[in-house]
């Protein structure tokens, strides 16, 4: 079964700093990849997704992620974070045609104003 690991549990940045959150998955077959965000007190929302095609995926709010198949990675990036990006970020994967979506443990991002 697939699994997901997120390397950073808590990241603290100042506004305008660049962000990169690591995500690695273990599964040998075709996968769909996702980043979800959970703002304080709110439900999980989709930031971006990769199904196929261009491995560089752009999402909402200036986020992007790059799928590197050889490294089994799907890292999330943003060139300049804002205070409003403070949230918990979850990487998720499901195998193609499998509805068992596996989530990482999450990375809490705190952006200092």
Q: Does 52 bind another protein (CB under 8 A)?
A: no
Q: Which residues are 82's β-sheet partners?
A: none
Q: Indicate which single residue of 11, 22, 32, 86 sits in contact with another protein (rule: CB under 8 A).
A: 32
**Which region, judged by CB under 8 A, interacts with another protein, from 12-20, 58-66, 74-82, 100-108?**
100-108
What CA–CA distance (Å, rounded) separates 10 from 27? 25
The helix (run of H) or strand (run of E) holding residue 34 is: strand 31-38
What CA–CA distance (Å, rounded) separates 95 from 93? 7
Q: Which residues bind another protein (CB under 8 A)?
A: 4, 6, 9, 32, 34, 36, 42-46, 49, 51, 90, 92, 94, 99-106
């Amino acid at each position: 079964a697939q699994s997901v690991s997120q390397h950073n549990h808590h990241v603290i940045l100042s506004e305008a700093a660049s962000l990169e959150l690591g995500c690695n998955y273990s599964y040998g077959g075709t996968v769909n990849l996702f980043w979800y965000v959970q703002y304080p007190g709110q439900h999980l929302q989709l930031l971006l997704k990769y199904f196929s095609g261009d491995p560089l995926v752009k999402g909402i709010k200036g986020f992007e992620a790059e799928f590197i198949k050889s490294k089994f990675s799907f890292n999330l990036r943003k060139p300049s974070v804002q205070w409003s990006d403070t949230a918990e970020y979850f990487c998720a994967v499901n195998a193609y045609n499998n509805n068992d979506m596996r989530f990482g443990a999450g990375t809490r991002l705190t952006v200092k104003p």
